[in-house]
Amino acid sequence: MGEEFYAIIKLVSGEEIFSLVSVDENDGDPVVLLQNPIIIKQISNGHATYLKVKPWMELPDEDIFIIKLDKMLTITETKNKNLIKIYHQYINDSVDDNNQFLQMKKSTGEVKVSNKMGYISSVEDARSYLENIFKSDLKDNKES
């Protein structure tokens, strides 16, 4: 079995896979071994860019897959530290010591509001403030 490296693979199906890869020369018919392959998609928002990470195959209990070279369009080694860090973080969060998939942590998506996000008062305080402005405007209009 060859040396392991991180690679991005484009399959003939159109899928792009990120994985720890090694090449096995099996009797002149080389195959690529993928360890914990994942799909990373870049999602752009008007304000930011996000990465969505998911397993390449969601149901199998195995973490090593074999692909023949004729099923790949291209393969490129990557040394991008951010992608490798995301890969390891995802694998460590998804797999326990026995390589059994854990139930993914479900995030509620809730964010606590802070003053930096525009939170400056409670609803009751804001209502009271606005009512005082409205009442003072009515009072000023009656006087004029």
Write the pLDDT tens digit of every residue in 77-126: 999 998 899 888 888 876 543 444 333 344 455 666 666 666 677 888 88
Whole-number Å distance between alpha carbons of 143 and 128: 23
Whole-number Å distance between alpha carbons of 73 and 31: 14
Whole-number Å distance between alpha carbons of 29 and 107: 44
The domain total for the chain is: 2
Residue-number span of the structural domain to which 133 is assigned = 111-144
φ, ψ dihedrals at 123, nearest 5°: -65, -40
Predicted confidence (pLDDT) per residue in 43-86, tens digit = 888 888 888 888 898 887 788 999 988 999 999 999 999 889 98
**Based on the domain organization, do 70 and 102 belong to the same domain?**
yes
Tokens of 83: 């992608």
* CA max distance for the chain: 99
The domain spanning residue 22 has which CATH number?
2.30.30.100
**Based on the domain organization, do 63 and 98 belong to the same domain?**
yes
Who wins on pLDDT, 63 or 9? 9
**Based on the domain organization, do 72 and 11 belong to the same domain?**
yes
